Every structure is written in C-alpha cells, then in structure tokens.
C-alpha cells in the first residue's frame, strides 16, 4: 500500500486542565488522505476537530506526532495549505477583490498587477461574484457572499490541501445549499484535495468521498472512515433517491447519537489509532475492492 498524499501519524494533543494535570484531547490519531480526495470529519463539539484542523493548517503544534504531506513533514503555516475559516476572516478594510488579490499576490509574488487581478476576478466569478459587487467591502456583503469570497480566495491560491473549518456553519439553510453546490462545481474543476469539518450529516454525504467519524473526547479518536458510495456528479435532490443514501445516513446518525459516546474515553496504550474502514453499498454484489479489510457491511444496529 502506497503512502497517502497527506498522512497524520500518532498525533496526540494534550492541554493543561487548569488543575495541574493534563487533558488529552486525542491520542495517537493516525489517518491519511489521498490526493484529490474530499474528506469530511464529523464529531461532537469538544472532540478535537478544530484542533486537528489548526494543526493541519500549521496554526498550532501537536503535543506529539507528525503530519506529512507529499512525504515531507510539515510545520508552521504555508501557502500549500489554504484555509477557509468559519467566520470568513476577510480583511474588512479591503474590498472583495482586494481580499482575493491579497492572497494571489502572496502566492505569486512575481505576477503582474493585471494578471493578479484577472486571476482573482476569474475565481470570484466562479462563485457568482461579478461586476460592481467586487468593489464592495465585506461589511456590505451578506454572510453567504462573504463566505463565497473566502472560498474564492482559498481556491485562487491553488493550495495542495484545502482546509475548510465549518465553512457553512453560520449560514442559513438555503444559502448553505447554494454555496455547497458552488463548492462542488469549483472543486470538480480542480481536483483539489479537501479536508473539511462539518456538523451537518447531509452536507457531508453530499460533498465527501469519505467521512471520518470521531468519538467524543477526552481521548477522542478517529474511529471510522465511511466511504460515500454514491457516484458523482451528485445533486442534492437526486442523491436522496440513491439506495445507499439512507443506509449511510443511518449509519452516521447511529454513530453520532450512540456509539460516539460508547467508544469514548478509550486510551490508546501507545498504539496508532487508525480508523476502521466502512463501506456501505446496497447497489448489488459489487466485488470488494480490498478483500482483506473488515466485512463489507458493518452492523449498523449494534
């Protein structure tokens, strides 16, 4: 088995608990992401999703363990790893266009001014921001438009890995749907590797190739890796008709509602904690791609 594009090996994060001891958020987490893959991570608040995100972005250091991308260990933030923050993090004194050129200029310092601007406009247009609206300040945009700008800024930089930290968490359901579609469209054209945190099960199924499920903290771990066996291109109205949709959805709901608690608090004992691979496919007796792994259908009602 070849090394994945991004691999997280034995990553442990502890914080002081304020009473002289330490609080272990997660321990020896070990998983990988392949190039071009769209991976979502689901779990309850406090299980360390955002900590994992910050470590991948290079904004925080794990207590121990390594993150390797393309075979090299990463440390510190880098333009190779673009981040879309939940609160958009646009610079409010810059116009929409300037917020995107800010990133492009950082990424391609030797591009001409005209080239930078044309590139920024192209990516803004991909998320539906064209014309005079690009000269508005972020405060004059709706929440959905601000997140579009943030997504355009991240994609325009062509990062090797794109990190999305609950990008739609603060948006209403209708806007969220529209921007999810736009995200799928822009992602489809780039083969970008994406790692995304979300709380929304339907969003995760619509967007992801694979969903990582985390147990509750402390001593949280990435317990399962569920493959989304629904072919692309996906469409929110069609995927619910797919025979696998509710099987996968029920499995996820079961996990988050029940098993995330039951599996919580298990210490690793120093062993790497890799997620169990779960494939749910009801479309017929398809050949198992890797017959040596766990049973094809895990019990969903245990």
Partner 1 sequence: MLDNLSTNQRAAVLSVVMLVVGLLIWEAAIPAQKAASELTEYERLTGGGAPKAGVPPPSQVLAKAWEQLSNPFYDAGPNDKGIGIQIGYSIYRVLTGYILAALIAIPLGFLIGMSQVAYKAFNPFIQVLRPISPLAWMPLALFIIQDSEASAIFVIFICSIWPMLINTAFGVAGVRQDWVNVARTHELNGIKTAFMVILPAAAPTIITGMRISIGIAWLVIVAAEMLVGGTGIGYYVWNEWNNLDLTSVIFSILMIGVVGMLLDSAFGFLQRAVTYAE
Residues that bind partner 1 (CB under 8 A): 57-59, 77-79, 81-83, 85, 87, 89, 91-94, 102-103, 106-107, 137, 139, 157
CB of 254 to partner 1, least distance (A): 35
35: left (phi over 0), alpha (psi -120 to 50) or beta: beta
Identify which of residues 87 and 254 has a Cβ nearer to partner 1 in the complex.
87
Question: Would you say the C-alpha torsion 252, 257, 259, 260 has a positive or negative sign?
Answer: positive
Contacts of 49 (CB under 8 A, 6+ apart): 41, 43, 197, 214
The Cβ of residue 238 has, within 10 Å, a number of other Cβ atoms equal to: 11
The least distance separating partner 1 from the CB of residue 5, rounded to whole angstroms, comes to 19
* Joined tokens for residue 292: 């040596």
| C-beta of 49 vs 234, nearer to partner 1 | 49
Output the smallest distance, CB 157 to partner 1, in A: 8
Choice between 137 and 199, CB closer to partner 1? 137
Instruction: Output the smallest distance, CB 134 to partner 1, in A.
Output: 17
In angstroms, give the least distance from the CB of 215 to partner 1. 28
Q: Which residues contact 18 (CB under 8 A, 6 or more apart)?
A: none
Closest approach of partner 1 to the CB of residue 57, in Å:
6
Within a 13 Å sphere around the CA of 204, how many CA atoms are in the beta-carbon half?
Answer: 27
Q: Which helix (H) or strand (E) holds 67?
A: strand 64-69
* Chain centre distance of CA 210: 10
Phi, psi of 187 (to 5 degrees): -70, -40
Q: Which lies closer to partner 1 via its Cβ, residue 77 or residue 231?
A: 77
Nearer to partner 1, 151 or 220 (CB): 151
Q: Nearer to partner 1 by C-beta: 58 or 265? A: 58
């Amino acid at each position: 088995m070849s090394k994945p594009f991004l691999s997280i090996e034995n990553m442990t994060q502890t914080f002081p608990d304020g009473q002289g001891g330490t609080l272990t958020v997660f321990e020896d987490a070990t998983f990988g992401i392949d190039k071009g893959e769209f991976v979502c991570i689901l779990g309850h608040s406090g299980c360390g999703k955002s900590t994992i995100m910050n470590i991948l972005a290079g904004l925080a250091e794990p207590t121990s363990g390594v993150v390797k991308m393309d075979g090299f260990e990463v440390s510190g933030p880098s333009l190779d790893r673009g981040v879309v923050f939940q609160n958009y993090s646009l610079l409010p004194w810059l116009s929409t266009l300037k917020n995107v050129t800010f990133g492009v200029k950082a990424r391609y310092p030797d591009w001409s001014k005209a080239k930078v601007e044309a590139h920024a406009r192209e990516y803004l247009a991909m998320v539906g921001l064209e014309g005079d609206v690009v000269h508005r300040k972020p405060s004059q945009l709706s929440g959905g438009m601000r997140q579009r700008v943030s997504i355009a800024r991240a994609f325009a930089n062509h990062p090797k890995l794109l990190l999305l930290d609950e990008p739609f968490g603060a948006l209403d359901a209708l806007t969220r749907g529209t921007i999810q579609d736009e995200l799928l469209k822009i992602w489809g054209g780039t083969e970008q590797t994406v790692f995304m945190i979300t709380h929304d099960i339907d969003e995760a199924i619509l967007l992801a190739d694979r969903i990582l499920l985390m147990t509750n903290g402390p001593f949280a771990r990435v317990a399962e890796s569920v493959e989304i066996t629904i072919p692309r291109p996906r469409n929110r109205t069609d995927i619910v008709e797919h025979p696998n949709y509710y099987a996968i959805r029920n499995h996820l709901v079961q996990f988050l509602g029940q098993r995330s608690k039951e599996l919580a608090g298990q210490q690793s004992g120093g062993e790497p904690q890799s997620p169990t691979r779960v494939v749910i496919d009801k479309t017929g007796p398809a050949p198992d791609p890797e017959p040596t792994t766990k049973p094809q259908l895990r019990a969903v009602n245990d």
